[in-house]
Amino acid sequence: MRSKLKDELANTNFVCTTADVWSSSHRSFLGVTVHWVNLNLVRESAALACRRFISSHTYDKIAAHLVDIHSTFDLCDKIRLTVTDNGSNYAKAFAEYGITVDEGVCDDTVEFADVDFVLANPPVPPPITSNLEEELSDSFTLPLHHRCSSHTLSLVGSTDVEKIVAKNPIYGRIHRAAMAKCSAIWNKVSRSPKACEEYTSVMNSQSLCPCPTRWNSLYDSVCSLLKNNAKLKELCTATGISQSKDVENKFLTEYVDCMQPIADSLDRLQGNKECFMGDLIPTLLRTRQT
């Protein structure tokens, strides 16, 4: 599979990669994917690695692993951008080892061809041995870094909302009470098969529970509850949860109305095949206007 993928990528001049580190069952993994547009102008994607990540997720170790994976597939001189989330370890890795384009370069006196040359001809890193930490030095360079726009927009619905909650006691009190009632339902349904059956019976649909790392899954889960808003009290009774108040239900309805533009934009930007960089600015402008 690796040889077949290397042969396919050999015929491609420009690619983009993504990287993410996550933990599961007290073990960490590094996932790297590659994306390119074929001769028929169709986007292609493939997984490059799902590698065990030992010890702390420090910036230098992330840099070493990325260079090793990129070198394995002969991509070091083809990568236009590497996309990651907004984690500080990624930011420092690319700040220390990544290509940087001077912000003052893009003025009326300098042609963009200068930037294109840097992008198309990054320094090629040396081979990485089994001891990645010892291989780190200033002799290799990571590609240009791009922070995931979807992750940044998702922070508006999560981190920025929490800042509003902290600043406004009245809003915060209603927000916490309404979300706590939803969390009680989700926890009960996810942990109790009987409660899950009660949910399906009362709401006439399968239960949705939010994922901690994806804000729009929280939005979708709240929408799922509000589809049968009239049955929420019946659901609370069936699952043994205290009744939700009318003011909490009203808050959830307004929450969904206010956050819908962000959720719709995230659904658009997270498309696997039909979303391109040219969709970003129009999507953000539409979100702001809405």
Model-level pTM? 0.73
Q: Per-residue pLDDT averaged across 255-275, rounded?
A: 88
The answer to whether residue 217 scores a pLDDT higher than 70 is yes
Tell me which DSSP letter residue 129 carries: -
Is 121 buried (19+), middle (13-18) or exposed (0-12) by CB count in 10 A?
exposed
Pairing of strands 15-24, 27-37: antiparallel
Computed over every residue of the chain, the mean pLDDT equals 83
Token reading at 178: 């309404």
249 vs 53, 172, 199, CA distance in Å? Answer: 43, 15, 17
- Both structure tokens of 30: 């590094």
Q: Is 50 or 25 the better-scoring residue by pLDDT?
A: 50
pLDDT class for 253, splitting at 50, 70, 90? very high
In the prediction, which pLDDT does 135 show?
A: 52
